[in-house]
Amino acid sequence: MIISATVYLTNRLCFEEKTEEEVADILGHLMKEKEISPKQMEQAISSFKVNNKDLNLILGHLLTFIYPTPKGDFGWSRVGWGFAQWWGQGKKFIKDLDRPVDCLKV
């Protein structure tokens, strides 16, 4: 249910006038507020239909928004969320992209 709702929301946002960064910001907030787990996001990504948006950019921005940082910074401050967990999840997010390196250039 959560995965299909995330896919629906993302697909709708991509058909509207949202930029890749705005879509990623919304997805990042969902993760930070624990509305969707990193594992569920990983499953949802494979079903995204991003219209004329660049999925590499969306995921690159998403990885930036959930980068592990201390409280008050741009990323995600969460107990147990460090670089190793972020990198492991990031590799799973981008594994099926045709240009995964572009995702990491953001």
Q: Cite the DSSP H helix spans in the chain.
A: 2-15, 20-32, 38-45, 55-65, 83-94, 100-104
Query: 32-75, pLDDT tens digit by residue?
Result: 999 999 999 999 999 999 988 999 999 999 999 999 988 766 78
Which pLDDT value is given to residue 78? 86
pTM over cut 0.75: yes
Residues sharing a CB contact under 8 Å with residue 36, sequence separation 6 or more, in sequence order? 2, 3, 6, 27, 30, 44
Give burial (CB, 10 Å; 0-12/13-18/19+) of 93.
Answer: buried
Instruction: Kindly state the tokens that stand for 104.
Output: 């990491």
94 DSSP 8-state letter: H
Which pLDDT value is given to residue 38? 94
